[in-house]
């Protein structure tokens, strides 16, 4: 009689340990899936931050170049304290100009074809 109780208890212990193991593996699987989702989200955020930093770096370079170009184009005015009004302004500098001739005009002879 005691052997049957011990045998039943041993079988019950095996079943309970197998159920506990399956629960542990299920919980571990869910935690791993959650960690993968969190890692993927963090990776996306990191990539977006890297892209934003690259854009900021490029934007900063463009702004710096524009400021340097503006600073080079400005001509220091002389006697600005003594002059006033619109006559004290100096004319703007031409960086590059293009000549557009009317159609049909030749530069050599001035004749129309």
> What is the residue-level pLDDT of the chain in tens, covering all 113 positions?
788 888 999 999 999 999 999 999 999 999 999 999 999 999 999 999 999 999 888 888 888 888 887 877 765 555 554 555 555 556 666 566 666 656 665 656 555 54
| Residue 104 near residue 113 (C-beta atoms within 8 A) | yes
| DSSP state at residue 34 | H
d(CA 1, CA 17): 24
Q: Nearest 5°: CA angle at 22, between 20 and 27? A: 95
d(CA 69, CA 95): 11
Structure confidence at residue 31 (pLDDT): 95
């Amino acid at each position: 009689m005691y052997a049957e109780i011990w045998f039943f208890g041993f079988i019950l212990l095996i079943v309970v340990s197998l159920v506990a193991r399956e629960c542990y593996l299920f919980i571990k699987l869910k935690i791993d899936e959650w960690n993968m989702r969190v890692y993927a989200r963090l990776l996306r955020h990191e990539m977006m931050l890297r892209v934003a930093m690259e854009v900021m770096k490029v934007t900063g370079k463009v702004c710096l170049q524009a400021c340097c170009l503006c600073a080079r184009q400005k001509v220091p005015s002389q006697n600005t304290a003594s002059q006033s009004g619109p006559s004290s302004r100096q004319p703007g500098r031409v960086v590059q100009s293009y000549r557009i001739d009317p159609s049909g005009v030749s530069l050599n002879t001035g004749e129309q074809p």
